[in-house]
Structure 1
């Protein structure tokens, strides 16, 4: 069953879909790397995060220096479209039946192939992200206002930390494994062992800075009184 499943999905007609999946995957992976580092600026203090937000939202084009939240809204819509395109072509690779999942598990237990294990983790995390990522993006589209206080309000007072606690490890693992598999698939490197070590190191690093950032928002949020006012540097 597994062999027939792989064979069916390995048809030459899927080459175009493979390219779309790889391009959208690389785009999302690079975005995640940038996004988590921008978010982690909160670790340097409220003013550092505020400065980063205003820069990303085009504050340099405003007479007041304050950015335009519409930029966050538009970019969130764009990323939602990218996610939808990626999911649409990736779903053809998804085991659709319980028997296919069992065959995959048996295959992994018999053949200890690291790339097969990487593929399994990408499938598992992809299933989780199918539900979590749209929730996050819809939230940003509906309420694009971000900043040290407003983001902390969302995390602490609106209990968004529950979503982010599930989303963080799933999206990091999925993205880094995905970038590894794209590099191998398209022959960008032959040093798989070194690339796997790099991917593992990035997974640990990104999850750590993501958790520290989340904790910072929780601490800031716990000190805020309702209604929350947007942060303004002194």
Structure 2
């Protein structure tokens, strides 16, 4: 008889590292934080549509003006919060890079998959991927501006937009961040079972994208008009 010797090799059945699930959760958590912040930020910013006085009061409130004897807020608050948001963005981007196609072949496979399988969620994920890549460059530029020059006000913000030509940055940032954030919140809601009504969630995401784009565009145009009327050097707005 012939003796057959079999070498038994232990094969790991673990498909992913335990950190992967934690990274998914952390990516979703930071995404929700950034998405909700965007909703609040755009509405605070759009108070300029109600007039210079309204925007000035909102800024003083957010910068802790109620704790100042003069009633004027502390720009340091904006600087510190901008640093915090930059750290959150870096963490979120680092976690998202795990899913990013790193090779040309992966991009081709993705495009082929999208062509052969016309699935709306796949297309949504693709656009979130594209906008995420754009935001990787635009968001730090915006936050660094706020860190280096945290002074905010009807005139000072308009000066940044018009005289410093920041309108170009914001014109690119606005559609990218709105589309990325709303698709992200939609996908998180489905992924973690917050809602199973896919069609309803998709419609809400589309309505929010349209609404926020209109709101942001109106605010940006208002800053451009205010900036065009300001002489140099620009003086901070003083309420009546």
TM-score by length of 2: 0.93
1:180-232 deviation per Cα after TM superposition (whole angstroms, max 9, x unaligned): 00000001100000000000000000010000000000000000000001001
Distance 1:26 1:166 in 2: 22
Is 1:25 the counterpart of 2:55? The answer is no
Distance 2:188 2:152 in 1: 33
Distance 2:115 2:189 in 1: 25
Moved >4 Å (runs of 4+) = none
1:153-190 deviation per Cα after TM superposition (whole angstroms, max 9, x unaligned): 00000000000000000000000000000000001100
Is 1:115 the counterpart of 2:156? The answer is no
Corresponding residue for residue 153 of structure 1: 159
| Larger Rg over CA atoms | 2
Is 1:98 the counterpart of 2:104? The answer is yes
Distance 1:65 1:55 in 2: 9
Distance 1:228 1:102 in 2: 51
Distance 2:111 2:231 in 1: 50
Q: 5 Å matches for 1:1-234?
A: 11=16, 13=18, 14-234=20-240
Distance 1:98 1:105 in 2: 11
* SS of the residue 1:112 aligns to: coil
Distance 2:147 2:204 in 1: 33
Q: CA deviation at 1:99?
A: 1.2
* SS of the residue 2:91 aligns to: helix
Distance 1:47 1:98 in 2: 52
Q: CA deviation at 1:142?
A: 0.2
Structure 1 unaligned regions, length at least 5: 1-9
1:34-62 deviation per Cα after TM superposition (whole angstroms, max 9, x unaligned): 00000000000000000000000000111
Corresponding residue for residue 6 of structure 1: none
Distance 1:39 1:73 in 2: 16
Q: Over aligned residue pairs, what C-alpha RMSD do you find?
A: 0.8
Q: CA deviation at 1:11?
A: 3.0
Distance 2:124 2:168 in 1: 26
Distance 2:73 2:145 in 1: 19
Q: CA deviation at 1:12?
A: 5.2
Structure 2 unaligned regions, length at least 5: 1-14
Distance 2:158 2:100 in 1: 36
Which is helix-richer, 1 or 2? Answer: 1
Distance 1:40 1:23 in 2: 26
1:123-156 deviation per Cα after TM superposition (whole angstroms, max 9, x unaligned): 0000000000000000000000000000000000
* SS of the residue 1:166 aligns to: helix
